[in-house]
């Protein structure tokens, strides 16, 4: 049996990594073989690209950024994700292609259809089975991730950027209603888990 491919999405500080750890524990408790990975990254090459992509001193053209994201993704799919799924291992991935739409298009203004073209080129129809999208107001995400208080103008610009990222995630969810699940990430950690558990178990065909 092919494994399931589950991705977690949302703006910075939404709670992806927190809930990924919990979800991994839940699935493992049900005896499911699991691989945890992330994007950008997931391979040695991808992690090198991640360092370059997340380097704040490096301002790349949005096209370049998107191309590098998909280059890393191609490696990740070929060397890690697809082999694992074929071996029956489930894959939990912290961010995937929805994040490229959200950040590079929503945030940085790259045309949506250019990313769609790369998505088609690299994924050839392969999509996650389930995507959990943690939706939260940018101010709350910022407060949670404890980003150091910057001068007000910068803070506002930052919130405006994340607000566009958030809207782009919501657009992706409207375009992929069966795969993407929007979760109100402003709720306490435990509340989110209580709501998510039965949904996950049912979608994944696991008896609780
Ligand atoms: N539902 C929640 N309520 C309150 N605090 C939370 C909640 N979820 C996560 N947190 C806290 O918020 C902070 C950010 O969470 P986390 O690292 O999981 O977010 P993330 O989406 O992975 O962020 P990033 O995109 O920056 O990696 C952590 O300190 C975490 O403990
Ligand atoms: Mg994280």
In tens, the pLDDT along 125-154 reads 999 999 999 999 999 998 998 765 555 666
Decide the pairing of beta strands 130-135 and 180-184: parallel
Judged on CB neighbours under 10 Å (0-12, 13-18, 19+), 196 is middle
pLDDT number for residue 147: 64
Ligand 2: centre distance to CA 16 (Å): 5
Ligand 2: centre distance to CA 9 (Å): 9
Q: What are the domain boundaries of the chain?
A: 5-203
- From the CA of 20, give the closest atom in ligand 1: 18
Q: Across the strands, what pairs with 164?
A: none
- Cβ atoms 46, 40 nearer than 8 A: yes
Residues whose beta carbons lie less than 5 angstroms from ion ligand 2: 16-17
Q: How large is the C-alpha radius of gyration of the chain?
A: 17
State the distance between the two ends of the chain, measured CA to CA, in whole angstroms.
20
Does ligand 1 lie within 6 Å of residue 167's CB atom? no
pLDDT number for residue 55: 82
pLDDT number for residue 57: 79
**Residue 207 has which token pair?**
């008896």
Ligand 1: centre distance to CA 2 (Å): 31
Given a cut of 50, the residues of the chain with pLDDT beneath it are none
CATH number 3.40.50.2300 is the correct assignment for the domain at 5-203 = no
pLDDT number for residue 205: 84
**Residue 149 has which token pair?**
């208080």
Please give the DSSP secondary-structure letter assigned to residue 92: E
Report the nearest-CA residue for atom 15 of ligand 1: 15
In whole angstroms, what is the distance from residue 114 CA to residue 63 CA?
9
Crossing angle of helices 138-145 and 152-175, rounded to 10° = 120
CB atoms within 10 A of CB 59: 8
Ligand 2: centre distance to CA 34 (Å): 18
Ligand 2: centre distance to CA 92 (Å): 13
- From the CA of 10, give the closest atom in ligand 1: 21
- Cβ atoms 171, 107 nearer than 8 A: no
Of the candidates 102, 104, 108, 109, the one whose C-alpha atom is nearest the C-alpha of residue 165 is 102
CB atoms within 10 A of CB 170: 15
Does ligand 1 lie within 6 Å of residue 40's CB atom? no
**Vertex 41: Cα angle to 33 and 29 (nearest 5):** 20
Q: What is the pTM of this model?
A: 0.95
């Amino acid at each position: 049996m092919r494994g399931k491919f589950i991705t977690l999405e949302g703006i910075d500080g939404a709670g992806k990594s927190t809930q990924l750890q919990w979800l991994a524990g839940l699935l493992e408790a049900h005896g499911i073989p699991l691989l945890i990975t992330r994007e950008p990254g997931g391979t040695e090459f991808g992690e090198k690209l991640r360092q370059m992509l997340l380097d704040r001193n490096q301002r790349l053209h949005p096209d370049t950024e998107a191309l590098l994201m998909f280059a890393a993704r191609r490696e990740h799919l070929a060397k890690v994700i697809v082999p694992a799924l074929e071996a029956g291992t489930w894959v939990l991935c912290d961010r995937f292609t929805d994040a490229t739409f959200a950040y590079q298009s929503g945030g940085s203004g790259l045309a949506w259809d250019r990313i769609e073209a790369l998505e088609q080129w690299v994924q050839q129809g392969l999509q996650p089975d389930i995507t959990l999208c943690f939706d939260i107001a940018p101010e709350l995400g910022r407060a949670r991730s404890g980003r150091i208080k910057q001068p007000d103008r910068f803070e506002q610009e930052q919130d405006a950027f994340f607000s566009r990222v958030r809207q782009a995630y919501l657009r992706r969810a409207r375009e992929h209603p069966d795969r993407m699940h929007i979760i109100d990430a402003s709720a306490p950690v435990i509340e989110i888990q209580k709501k998510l558990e039965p949904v996950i178990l049912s979608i994944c065909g696991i008896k609780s």
